[in-house]
Structure 1
Amino acid sequence: MGVEVSRLSNGLTVATETLPQVESVALGVWVKSGARNEREDEHGMAHLLEHMAFKGTNKRSAWKIASEIEDVGGEINAATSVETTSFYARVLRDDVPLAIDILSDILTDSRFDEHELEREQHVILQEIGAAHDTPDDIVFDRFTETAFRHQTIGRSILGTPETVKSFTSKQLHDFMERQYGAERMVVVAAGAIKHDEFVREVERNLGSFRTKAESALPQYAHYVGGDYRENRDLMDAQIVLGFEGRAYHVRDFYASQVLSMILGGGMSSRLFQEVREKRGLCYSVYAFHWGFSDTGIFGIHAATGQSDIAELVPVIVSELQKAGDAILQEELNRARAQYRAGLVMSAESSASRASQIARQLLLFGRPIGMDELVERLSNLTVERLTDLSGRLFSTKPTVTAVGPVGTLAPYEAIRDALPTSGITARRLAV
């Protein structure tokens, strides 16, 4: 049947996909407002708001929210990302009205009780402390901060102890009123669902939700790049090397996704085979590409011991140089198969499908069918990927490292060893 989409009179988009093989429904509300929508004095507020979502409304206590959904065997949760916040549940088909009612109650009538707020602030302070004590977490926080220096898109989603402790109940209410408007929200369900019935339930609960958010959209992101190193007395070192990536909307987005799989998307990838299998220079290495609405970032993460750092980075840089010279057809075929398999497997999960549909609606204003995605993959060529590699890895690099990183090559040496348009790269000495 595919994805069905309706729009309520207040601008709220409602979408469903019926999956005949399941008896449950994954549903939620996705808001186009995340960490990058915060003002300078609101760093961490979107995440705190997510935590406070289940701490009580004017008609339900925190206990009541949890017990009502679990009395019917359901699950409920929320999540914050750089650009979105989501509130979602999974229930059996007969309990969809209850789930919609609870999610709507949270969005329209949360109390943000001061005592609950104080407790949750303490919980987030513990979360911040735990992240700081986890090198493979902190290295990625420093990575985005360095890549997008002094911009909200690069800040940690968690916030800082100082900002999180300063927030009040009124600020949370004000933030939600400014950021949450029906035109920036989608309600999606996937599974054992009937579209018309779902739309009626959403209309009944959220049909009068305010139409527009008052706040302006975040400023356009600007990739900066640079170097960050934090020497710590640890057993291993966490290293991330990154470059300016591609936004969701641009032509090279899917090519960048596939390139990341060829370089470091599995055990057959170039980096895994060369760095880990042949040379044993690290215990973990992979490539990734993160797309945002107006920018992106491509990166390689490696975790290794102190004695292998000096050799590891030159080998990674060498593999990036080779990618700019040639991509093999068999590599492209393998990466396409991996990507397509991932799409098919995610389509078998109602929660994954609901999230994917919501993301597409927020980014593109429409759901993108499997056939269209597969066609985009089919149009990729080795020549296009080779050309993309040369352009991608000639942007200013971002280097972040945490651990015993004293033997890591200087930033300038890493930068000069990378291919630059019109300039022959220098060999990075081991």
Structure 2
Amino acid sequence: MTSRSSQATARTSSEARAVARTQTLLKGKDGIGTVRRTTLPGGLRVVTETLPSVRSATFGIWANVGSRDETPSLGGATHYLEHLLFKGTRKRSALDISAAIDAVGGEMNAFTAKEYTCYYARVLDTDLPLAIDVVCDMLTGSLILQDDVDAERGVILEEIAMTEDDPGDCVHDLFAHTMFGDTPLGRPVLGTVDTVNALTADRVRRFYKKHYDPTHLVVAAAGNIDHATVVRHVRRAFDKAGALSRTDAVPTPPRDGSRALRTAGKVDVISRRTEQAHVVLGMPGLARTDERRWALGVLNTALGGGMSSRLFQEVREKRGLAYSVYSYTSGFADTGLFGVYAGCRPSQVHDVLKICRDELDRVASDGLPDEEIERAIGQLSGSTVLGLEDTGALMNRIGKSELCWGSQMSVDEMLARISAVTPDEVRAVAGEVLGQRPSLSVIGPLKDKQADRLHEAVS
């Protein structure tokens, strides 16, 4: 005789199968590179990319939450939570979690950014069911005990201290604060010593329940996998946790954000006894959805993306003023950053900044010659393809695309977009982005007179 609870379980399972929707987003050749999406009840999305020629698979879960979603008193909560999900579930201890993946020679990790968090495991294709079960268990069954919160607090404080000890890393956090001020985008992902010390298990649990609902999650897998098999294992794991019961739930759309505060002409200096002065000179960039991002990517490559770039040649090759000098872009939902980093001797910081500022001004007013743009297009195209040569990179691409754009773009389409960038588009975006008044962040042992002169670089 079947019990009522068994009948209810069967009915729920039947409903889950009925409402799951599968789409082929990108059709590969002979099944290679095919990207599919299944939307499960509860609003959980599962995207996969098939690559039968490899023997590995990478499985990840992306959460639509980052440090940008924290209030000032919750600073660092997203990153703290990332650590805590490895500390144990109702099924597994912290040792069980790590030992399960280590036992099959796999690797497991996570990272937190301003607008998302990702947990992933890379294993042999035959061990994919294990990876799915472990990572899904972490995301749905975490205990977040006070003892674990207290124990991990010390680890996170050490991570903050480690970052503070690396001025080449710390200066980028300083630059974000210089540009965005005391706003979620301007605060460090790790939080501060004070905010981390103030976090309790109860506050982190509430944050977890609010932001780790299936509607805010994207499951992504890439490698020698079968889409239907991945969906089946994911659905089973989430069903066990009771996370797919809301059959009317729909996925959360990509965030649009609210316009972030941006500054111009501001200079922030942290005096520290270091061998080098670490500087970032930059200005507002473009949002990640801005169609001009392709032209900005070409511009960034030409300016500071490699050994043949303008900044590398002028600062390092011709004058020997720095070992590391490069430019970069960061795109968020509603805004972005363009920055130039250099590490140099403190006595030469003004020379380096003048060269960088002169090059930015020159490119903003005169543009780049066609041959430099053509070379940058080739470099960007090649690095894009080479950067996707492993299953981890493929998982990152499809997971982030689904979470941040709600759509997928094939590698061929990406290459076509890069190749279609015209010199006029690059010159136009150079004038708009580089023509803005920059801001500056510096960490190093600068004397008072040197620090006072830094305003010359942004005037």
Q: CA deviation at 1:85?
A: 0.6
Task: Provide the rounded CA distance (Å) in 2 between the counterparts of 1:411 and 1:235.
Answer: 18
Identify the residue that residue 40 of structure 1 maps to in structure 2. Answer: 72
1:349 paired residue number: 390
Cα deviation digits, residues 261-320 of structure 1 (max 9, x gap): 111101100000011111112221100001111111000001000221221111111111
User: How far apart are the structure 2 equivalents of 1:43 and 1:376?
Assistant: 38
- Tell me which residue corresponds to 1:387: 428
Partner Cα distance (1:329, 1:254) in 2: 16
Summarize the alignment of residues 87-126 of structure 1 with structure 2, pairs less than 5 Å apart.
87-126=119-158
Aligned partner of 2:261 in structure 1 is 222
Letter in 2 for 1:209: A
Alpha-carbon distance, 1:113 to partner: 2.2
Superimposed CA distance per residue, residues 310-347 of structure 1 (whole angstroms, 9 cap, x where no aligned partner): 21111111111221203122211221122211221123
Change (3 A) 1:147 1:292: same
SS at match of 1:25: strand
2:291 aligned with 1:283 = no
Match of 2:362 among 314, 319, 322: 322
Q: Does 1:249 align with 2:274?
A: no
Q: Which moved more, 1:129-138 or 1:44-53?
A: 129-138
TM-score, length-scaled by structure 2: 0.87
Q: Do the aligned partners of residues 213 and 148 (structure 1) sit closer, same or farther apart at CA in structure 2, a change above 3 Å counting? A: farther
User: Aligned runs of 1:143-158 on 2, under 5 Å?
Assistant: 143-158=175-190
* Identical-residue share of aligned pairs (%): 38
Give the conservation status (yes or no) of the 8 Å contact 1:58–1:110.
Answer: yes
Is the 1:238–1:302 Cα contact (8 Å) retained in structure 2? yes
Q: Within the alignment, does 1:209 sit opposite 2:243 as a pair?
A: yes
Q: Find the residue that maps to 1:154 and give its secondary structure.
A: coil
1:37–1:218 Cα contact (<8 Å) kept: no
Any conservation in 1 of the 2:60–2:135 contact (CA below 8 Å)? Answer: yes
- Find 1:338's aligned residue among 372, 379, 382: 379
Q: Tell me the CA shift for residue 408 of structure 1.
A: 5.2
CA distance in 2, matches of 1:99, 1:170: 29
- Partners in 2 of 1:100 and 1:395 — Cα distance? 47
Q: Which runs of 5+ in 1 are unaligned?
A: 417-430
Matched, 1:69 2:101: yes
Q: Is the 2:267–2:455 contact (alpha carbons within 8 Å) kept by the matching residues of 1?
A: no
1:259 corresponds in structure 2 to: 299
SS at match of 1:319: helix
Q: 2:456 aligns with which of 403, 407, 413?
A: 413
Per the alignment, residue 83 of structure 1 pairs with 115
Give the counterpart letter for 1:282 in structure 2: A
Count matched residues: 415
> Quick one: which amino acid aligns to residue 125 of structure 1?
L
What is the CA deviation profile of residues 157-185 of structure 1, one whole-angstrom value per residue up to 9, with x for unaligned ones? Answer: 11111111121222121101111222221
Structure 1 CA distance, aligned partners of 2:337 and 2:222? 30
Instruction: Work out the CA distance in 1 between the residues paired with 2:233 and 2:359.
Output: 54
Mapped to 2, the partners of 1:152 and 1:245 lie a distance apart of 17
1:363 equivalent in alignment to 2:404: yes
Deviation at residue 227 of structure 1 after TM alignment: 1.4
Alignment correspondent of 1:399: 440
**What's the CA shift string for 1:110-146, capped at 9, x where partnerless?**
1112222212100111111121122112211110011
Shift of 1:409: 6.4
Deviates more, 1:216-225 or 1:25-34: 216-225
Distance 1:29 1:299 in 2: 30
Match of 1:235 in 2: 275
Q: TM-score, normalised by structure 1?
A: 0.92
Aligned-CA RMSD value: 1.8
Cα pair 2:57 2:391 within 8 Å, conserved: yes
Stretches of structure 2 that go unaligned for 5 or more consecutive residues are 1-27, 29-33
